[in-house]
Structure 1
């Protein structure tokens, strides 16, 4: 097994951890915000684990970006353009939103405001990630909706 294959499998499997944690964090934050619930240590840990998992995924992705043959093709073809520009741009933006949302929640004193910050920033990041999955399925004929070959 080559380094590329190892990283590709790690990146492919780790995405489920990121998506599950992000979804749970968004749902928890929305319930906390709309239900005026306390912001607990468990909420903080969930948000930090989500942040860490997204950053680990980014590291896998950056390494893959330089090793993948999918980033070496012509920009005129949708599949290569997606992997070379669109995928990394959307994912980096999603991770920036997760990072900013977590940082904002730390600065806010009001518990409802903490939930609101996480719900909005993490929610937009989740929407971006789901949109990127749809774009991938449309751009790369070898991929299905959840990116499985």
Structure 2
């Protein structure tokens, strides 16, 4: 089960990165062209939000069943950069990133002007993406090895 969750978490991560790249491009183009914010734009940002939350749920499950997760938290782990990444930094920064993405989606939904919706999604989703990219364990990611 643990191996399945690891592979699922890696696969969803790849999907999430692709979805966020597409959503950001769509919203940047919409902002630059001053296009009306359509249902398609809203759906694309919703797909990004759903992918992020799905990744969070799978990641939390993995965090509690992994030997590198919560069971590994100790003073010794904090001295080891990879142990600290898995036990603290990766999950904490992921939660913060997904909170930013959620706030961005909610603010964009309430915004009145199309340009404001585009700008809100672009800023919050880009911040979330940068945080996610900063804490991916690239050297051990299953899709690279």
TM-score by shorter chain over 0.5 = yes
Q: Give me the CA root mean square deviation.
A: 1.6
1:143 to 130, 133, 140: 140
Cα deviation, 1:75-126, whole Å, max 9, x if unaligned, reads 2211110001110111111101110010000110101110010000001111
Aligned residue for 2:129, secondary structure, equals helix
2:81 to 78, 83, 86: 78
Query: Residue 63 of structure 1: CA displacement?
Result: 0.5
Give the whole-Å Cα distance in 1 for the aligned partners of 2:93 and 2:53. 14
Cα deviation, 1:9-61, whole Å, max 9, x if unaligned, reads 11111111111111111111111112211111100001111101110100000
TM-score, normalised on structure 1? 0.87
TM-score, normalised on structure 2? 0.90
Q: Which residue is 2:99 aligned to?
A: 96
Query: In the alignment, does 2:62 pair up with 1:59?
Result: no
1:16 to 14, 23, 27: 14
Moved over 3 A (4+): 146-149
Give the whole-Å Cα distance in 2 for the aligned partners of 1:109 and 1:119. 16
Give the whole-Å Cα distance in 2 for the aligned partners of 1:96 and 1:26. 17
